[in-house]
Structure 1
Amino acid sequence: MTTGDGSALVSALGGLRAELDTVALPYEVPGVAASRELVDAVCRQVDDYLLPRLERLEAPLLVVVGGSTGAGKSTLVNSLVRNAVSRSGVLRPTTRAPVLVHNPADAHWFDDRRILPGLARVHGPEEDLPPDRPITTVRLVSEEALPAGLAVLDAPDVDSVVDSNRELAAQLLAAADLWLFVTTAARYADAVPWGLLQEAAARAAALAVVLNRVPAAAMTDVRDDLASMLAANGLGASPMFTIADSDVEHGLLPRRAVAGLHAWLTGLAADEAARGVVIRRTVTGALNTLGERVAVVAEAADAQNAAATELRTVARERYAEARRRLDTALSDGSVLRGEVLARWQEALGTGELWRGLESGVSRVRDRLVGFVRGRRAPVERLGEALQSSTHALVVSELTAAAGDTAREWRARPAGAALLRLDPTLARPSDGSDERVERLVRDWQSAVIDLVSELGEGKKAQARAVSLGVNGLGFVLMLAVFSQTAGLTGGEVAIAGGTAVVSQRLLEAILGDEAVRTMAAKARADLLDRVGVLLEGERRRWVDAAPVADAGARVRASLELLQEAR
């Protein structure tokens, strides 16, 4: 660790920690489970160790005693302070919640949650505390026998059968200035602790090893073998203390058995410079590996961003496709099927009107007006049929767009997980049917208003009024919808006749230019309204797959941290 501005380093680290809080990994992408665990681990180490240690470099050296089940950790801690401060015994696990032992003069360093802020503090003898208290508590024990400047924390077993114990053990080891690894002649080669030891080596954490319960006859061989393993894993410089297999009296090892370790720890406590070397070594290693781990977190955030972007793109494409289909269907005659065709034939009556149109518009204009005026009821029913058909077409496309999007999302793990959380996405939103109905009614009203406004002069307006603007509006809608594409058989002839009759009737009353202007404007208005509706439906999918550029922000904060070092 460089000797720069400590406050700048703390500030930069705090900024990085704040950005890590914004890294959400909700999408199921390859490796996301490991990424979530990594984010949690990085945040815990910053909270539990790096920030509190950098803010108070003069605080006592925290030694965390960790190791395998049955290695004798609690007995060792008790023996160092010559008091049964941590429960030991044959039942496993014996250390269900951590015990932190400190000199009375150092109590203020630990009462205020300076370190391990996520753990509640309790005081008092073990027997006075509830046996089922949460593991997320740490029992603070004040002991004169432990020198000031040094605290010892008895951690749960790193290979405990209880998941929460193992997780807490790993968390506590990451918060240690010095890890006192306790093992035995029978357990020193176990795989689980060696995984943690390799992590400690990777971050250059300060480590000391206690080889416990070694038979006198095997002392040299076991010690040499363990030393060889430590060296092979980059831990050869770690101090090693051996404790021969000996009788335990009143729960304590003989003084001579722990004399070497006790003297070494006491020396660290008394030597501020030596303590500083240990602390700076561990902090530097933690900061070095923090950068590597945060870079992986940023990559995980990028993968989440990519997954969300892909899901959003799918939704955008499917709803754009629905709009294109509606664009076509609203002008290719699809709306004129079924009920609309029947009502148009009812309003049209016999072929007399059609033959009249063929003979010339100028000769039949008055007959057109009189014909439609005299058939108000069929024309009104035509308007209702147009409304129903248009409503059904739009609802059908909303349903298709939601279904198509859902099908493609389900083909992607991230999308499938989101749909499991909110299966309502796979269908149009609640109330969409009513919104479509209102949209069609409003559009029909706008078309009718358009007819009343765009007639060519007073004479055309008078004709429109005498005929009834509703009727003309419905006929204009037919002109908008009446193209032959998409119809088959007899429908083609009917639709073709519909187009011509509608066009001729409107031109006879309102004029050629007005009809062209009105038809184009009415069609554009309907498509705009439908486009707004589709966009609202698409937004549900967008909102379900938020995109956050957390990766870039985390990298920027990491860069500031590196500069502050």
Structure 2
Amino acid sequence: MTTQPTAVLDTFAEHLRALDLPLPLEGADRARADVSAALSQLGDHVIPRLESLDAPLLAVIGGSTGAGKSTLVNALVGEVVSRSGAIRPTTRRPVLLHHPADEPWFTGTRILPDLARVQMVGESGDRDPEAPGAGDTTGDVDPATSLALHAESRIPQGLALLDAPDIDSVAAGNRELARQLLRAADLWLFVTTANRYADAVPWEVLRTAAERDVTVDVVMNRIPEGTGVSEELSQDLRDMLEQSGIEVTRLFLVPETELDEQEMLPPAVVTELQRHVSRLAADAEGRGRIARRTLAGAVTALASSTRQIAEHAGAQEAERQRLRQEATDAFAGSRERIDEALGDGSLLRGEVLARWQDVVGTGELFRGLESLVSRIRDRVGLAISGRPAPSVAAEQALGTGLVHVVIDETARGAERADAAWRATASGRFLAKGQDLSRVPESFREEVAAGIRAWQGDVLELVRQEGSDRRTKARVLSLGVNAVGVALMVVVFASTAFIPTGLEVGAGAATAVVGQKLLETVFGDEAVRRMARVARERLTARLDALVAERSAAFLERLDALGEAGSDEQLEADADALEQLAHEIRETA
């Protein structure tokens, strides 16, 4: 066997604990239950058994409601140690009976670490806490989360009996606890009755035993008197077991028997079962074979379950990526439309155009420049109103127009993303409790601040480019704000910064004026460089603003935590299968 066989299991357990399957996909509930069951079995049985193959064998006594499990346990011990009765559920706190010398194996958390230990103390010695007059030394402990330990010298050393709750209990907690205990067993002693052995629930549980290659002994209880009845019922049960592929080591038959005043069975009816338990406890080699067989079967079953869990992990990751892509695509469309508005000159209409023409018409841009600009001014002609207005007003109008474009387009992106998410169960799960399509007031303020910051970038760019004496004089004669507005107009007019095909119309003419003005002040090459830098800085700020708006969606995905790796789980399954093979080889 591998040098550190539990290392495989420890790594596997870490991967399971890190696994998150939050989205409501088909089969996700079952997958989450499988993860929980796998972790439970690792801690309750597989890891502790692999670490201590010489520990006492744990035989769990399970079965349906009213099958007589507790009565059978009491008969094996020879006194009432587990409560039985007509009111259901009867057995709530499981009772583990062991030889006093085996006590160290069970008082700690070697197996079933999540169940608190309760030591039994009563007037007649160690007693079941739920038997009449019994008490415990740990106070009021929840029976569904605790395990009653009963040291009993009549239990042979090397084997322990665990009386489990009903597998079909009316209490959901008891049903799950029963299955947890059966997963922790080295050996099943399954109890049924002559009139209920064909019930669906016991067979479902028995099939899981077959899947995990658990050693199973079956007790058919309360067999009616009559010639040939016992033979007929037992044969029918054997046939059903064989047809279901369930291998049973031994089948014990207990006749319908009247109980005494202490609700005890006559010792004679369980003699064969007592002898079997004693022989098994005395056969160390036989116990080892059973322990290894069940352990190998449990590890193999874990490998199979892990592959199914891996499929669900992969489906969850694919769904996360799909939801992320839907949100990303929605806002990518918004970003593209913002760029279109910047590049097609649409921002140079309305209020922006009026304020820009006011700046041009006052002569503010042409004071002290060569006649080239004057000729450009003449070409603009009637498009210029001549009304005096400060260049700051044009700057503000440009900023306001861009803010409206950003808010409108990101709002449309949010509506598209929200609609796409709400079309699927997983998207509705993420959007639940929030109106992700609503534009927060804080975002409006962020957009306005971002655009103002970019305009500040443009003005700083103008100052830096006009640092030499001659250019600085020209910039100062026009005003930094006026030159800055001209650069913004160029950026908004065309992505290529050369407004070809737009020579007609007031908006196009003003864009030409802005570019020619800048070329006169800084030169053609410098204008192209300034426009490129200004556009890059605007692009970066717009990217950040759109990303900020899309964050409301993406953060919902990020809040799900790290998804488990299906490839990692597949590798775990391979390692588990190899470990199971090694366990069988050493058996």
Partner Cα separation in structure 1 for residue 538 and residue 495 of structure 2: 19
1:92 aligned onto 2:99 = no
| Greater alpha carbon shift after TM alignment, 28-37 vs 60-69 | 28-37
Within-5 A mapping of 1:464-483: 464-482=475-493
More helix by share: 1
Contact 2:45 2:185 in 1 (8 A): yes
1:453 aligned onto 2:493 = no
Partner Cα separation in structure 2 for residue 234 and residue 131 of structure 1: 44
1:523 aligned onto 2:523 = no
1:311 aligned onto 2:317 = no
Partner Cα separation in structure 1 for residue 374 and residue 360 of structure 2: 19
Question: Relative to structure 1, is the Cα distance of residues 351 and 253 closer, same or farther in structure 2, using a 3 angstrom cutoff?
Answer: same
Aligned match for 2:429, one of 417, 441, 456: 417
Contact 1:429 1:537 in 2 (8 A): no
Aligned-pair CA distance for 1:109 = 0.7
Aligned match for 2:51, one of 49, 55, 64: 55
Q: The residue matched to 2:156 in structure 1 has which SS?
A: coil
Aligned-pair CA distance for 1:425 = 4.4
For structure 1, the 5+ residue unaligned runs are: 486-491
Aligned match for 2:216, one of 179, 199, 207: 207
**Cα RMSD for the two superposed structures:** 3.0
Aligned-pair CA distance for 1:232 = 1.5
Partner Cα separation in structure 2 for residue 59 and residue 338 of structure 1: 87
Contact 2:299 2:577 in 1 (8 A): no
Question: Relative to structure 1, is the Cα distance of residues 364 and 8 closer, same or farther in structure 2, using a 3 angstrom cutoff?
Answer: closer
Question: Relative to structure 1, is the Cα distance of residues 456 and 23 closer, same or farther in structure 2, using a 3 angstrom cutoff?
Answer: closer
Q: Which amino acid aligns with 2:571?
A: A
Query: Which residue in the other structure is 2:135 paired with?
Result: 128
Partner Cα separation in structure 1 for residue 427 and residue 100 of structure 2: 56
Query: Which residue in the other structure is 1:151 paired with?
Result: 160
Aligned-pair CA distance for 1:345 = 4.0
Aligned-pair CA distance for 1:360 = 4.5
Question: Relative to structure 1, is the Cα distance of residues 430 and 247 closer, same or farther in structure 2, using a 3 angstrom cutoff?
Answer: farther
Question: Relative to structure 1, is the Cα distance of residues 267 and 478 closer, same or farther in structure 2, using a 3 angstrom cutoff?
Answer: same
For structure 2, the 5+ residue unaligned runs are: 121-126, 497-503, 583-587
Aligned-pair CA distance for 1:106 = 1.0
Aligned-pair CA distance for 1:168 = 1.0
1:9 aligned onto 2:5 = yes
Deviations along 1:211-241, one digit per CA (max 9) or x if unpaired, are 1111111322212211211222223543011
1:186 aligned onto 2:195 = yes
Partner Cα separation in structure 2 for residue 131 and residue 210 of structure 1: 34
Contact 1:376 1:471 in 2 (8 A): no
Deviations along 1:442-477, one digit per CA (max 9) or x if unpaired, are 111111122223349633320211221012111221
Within-5 A mapping of 1:97-116: 97-116=93-112
Contact 1:181 1:209 in 2 (8 A): yes
1:440 aligned onto 2:455 = no
Query: Which residue in the other structure is 2:501 paired with?
Result: none
Partner Cα separation in structure 2 for residue 90 and residue 62 of structure 1: 28
Aligned-pair CA distance for 1:393 = 1.5
1:550 aligned onto 2:559 = no
Question: Relative to structure 1, is the Cα distance of residues 95 and 430 closer, same or farther in structure 2, using a 3 angstrom cutoff?
Answer: farther
Partner Cα separation in structure 2 for residue 363 and residue 279 of structure 1: 100
Aligned match for 1:252, one of 247, 264, 269: 264
Q: Which amino acid aligns with 1:514?
A: A
Contact 1:483 1:496 in 2 (8 A): no
Which portions of structure 1, spanning 4 or more consecutive aligned residues, are displaced by more than 6 angstroms?
A: 350-354, 363-366
Partner Cα separation in structure 2 for residue 364 and residue 457 of structure 1: 26
Within-5 A mapping of 1:259-298: 259-298=271-310
Aligned-pair CA distance for 1:132 = 7.6
| TM-score, reference length from structure 2 | 0.86
Partner Cα separation in structure 2 for residue 471 and residue 236 of structure 1: 92
Deviations along 1:248-286, one digit per CA (max 9) or x if unpaired, are 111211000111111101111111112112212211211
1:397 aligned onto 2:409 = yes
Contact 1:122 1:137 in 2 (8 A): yes
Query: Which residue in the other structure is 2:499 paired with?
Result: none
Question: Relative to structure 1, is the Cα distance of residues 48 and 132 closer, same or farther in structure 2, using a 3 angstrom cutoff?
Answer: closer
Query: Which residue in the other structure is 1:83 paired with?
Result: 79
Aligned-pair CA distance for 1:426 = 4.0
Q: Which amino acid aligns with 1:495?
A: G
Q: Which amino acid aligns with 2:324?
A: R
Query: Which residue in the other structure is 1:388 paired with?
Result: 400
Q: Which amino acid aligns with 2:249?
A: S
| TM-score, reference length from structure 1 | 0.90
Aligned-pair CA distance for 1:108 = 0.8
Aligned-pair CA distance for 1:90 = 0.6
Query: Which residue in the other structure is 2:254 paired with?
Result: 243
Contact 1:451 1:472 in 2 (8 A): yes
Aligned-pair CA distance for 1:10 = 1.7
Query: Which residue in the other structure is 2:241 paired with?
Result: 230
Aligned-pair CA distance for 1:499 = 1.5
Q: The residue matched to 1:114 in structure 2 has which SS?
A: coil
Q: Which amino acid aligns with 1:212?
A: N
Contact 1:68 1:183 in 2 (8 A): yes
| Greater alpha carbon shift after TM alignment, 548-557 vs 506-515 | 506-515
Deviations along 1:475-534, one digit per CA (max 9) or x if unpaired, are 22122223699xxxxxx8331232233234334444444333322332222112212333
Query: Which residue in the other structure is 2:181 paired with?
Result: 172
Q: Which amino acid aligns with 1:114?
A: R
Deviations along 1:364-407, one digit per CA (max 9) or x if unpaired, are 899x9xxx9x9885321111121221122222222222222222
Contact 2:186 2:214 in 1 (8 A): yes
Partner Cα separation in structure 2 for residue 140 and residue 292 of structure 1: 34
Question: Relative to structure 1, is the Cα distance of residues 388 and 215 closer, same or farther in structure 2, using a 3 angstrom cutoff?
Answer: same
1:361 aligned onto 2:373 = yes
Q: Which amino acid aligns with 1:92?
A: R
